[in-house]
Chain A
Amino acid sequence: AQTVTQSQPEMSVQEAETVTLSCTYDTSENNYYLFWYKQPPSRQMILVIRQEAYKQQNATENRFSVNFQKAAKSFSLKISDSQLGDTAMYFCASSASASKIIFGSGTRLSIRP
């Protein structure tokens, strides 16, 4: 069975600071994907970044990057130069088959002006 754990229910940082959201996961699969989704107050689920488990290189998307530690089953999200629009709920998620995505409980991130 897959599990995803986010141990930080809430975080708050000042605008322009860098923030790191933590995530650990567990899976018995060899091939899997990891994701970070953003859910703003509108509650739409927006894909932020994804990482293929077989790739050693950490994924980056502009100000967003991940630190993927496969042996430790850790997948943290770093947001650089944080902006007010980054305020949202962030969900870490994994998929070991194309049939479903397993989500963590989320981290509520607030960016203070």
Chain B
Amino acid sequence: EPEVTQTPSHQVTQMGQEVILRCVPISNHLYFYWYRQILGQKVEFLVSFYNNEISEKSEIFDDQFSVERPDGSNFTLKIRSTKLEDSAMYFCASSESRANQETQYFGPGTRLLVL
């Protein structure tokens, strides 16, 4: 069964460093998303992406964040200068289409720790 994959599974970085989190969505899916979950809290929407552009973003998704689909398979989230409060689990998700509000399938997540 096709699934969303994410790398790395864990990342530790120093405050102020740039990190890139990678995702490979399900191959025939067209809509891509990033969510984050701070430990012990609810999952929060960050951004959605379609047709090589951002379709919606939350207030969390400030200028320190960017997303990119550099090729036909990868979908990346970059944090330019990490802060301590960026420590969280980051989930990538993808959905097949917007019509009929297709279900989003989540990857296993990347656990980011900022020291």
Binding site for B on A (CB under 8 A): 31-33, 35, 37, 42-47, 50, 91, 93, 95-106
B42 and A91 form a contact (CB under 8 A): yes
B98 and A98 form a contact (CB under 8 A): yes
B56 at the interface (CB under 8 A from A): yes
Q: Which residues of B contact A31 (CB under 8 A)?
A: 101
Given known contacts A32-B101, A95-B101, A97-B101, A102 and B106 CB-to-CB distance under 8 angstroms = no
Q: Which residues of B contact A37 (CB under 8 A)?
A: 106
In the assembled complex, the Cα of A82 lies from the Cα of B108 at a distance in Å of 24
Partner of B56, one of A32, A91, A100, A102: A100
B25 at the interface (CB under 8 A from A): no
List CB contacts (< 8 Å) of B85-115 with chain A: 89, 91, 93, 95, 97-98, 101-109, 111
A43 and B109 form a contact (CB under 8 A): yes
Q: Which residues of A contact B107 (CB under 8 A)?
A: 44
Given known contacts A99-B55, A106-B42, A33 and B101 CB-to-CB distance under 8 angstroms = yes
5 cross-chain pairs, A with B, having the tightest CB-CB distances, nearest first: A45-B106, A100-B45, A99-B56, A98-B98, A103-B43
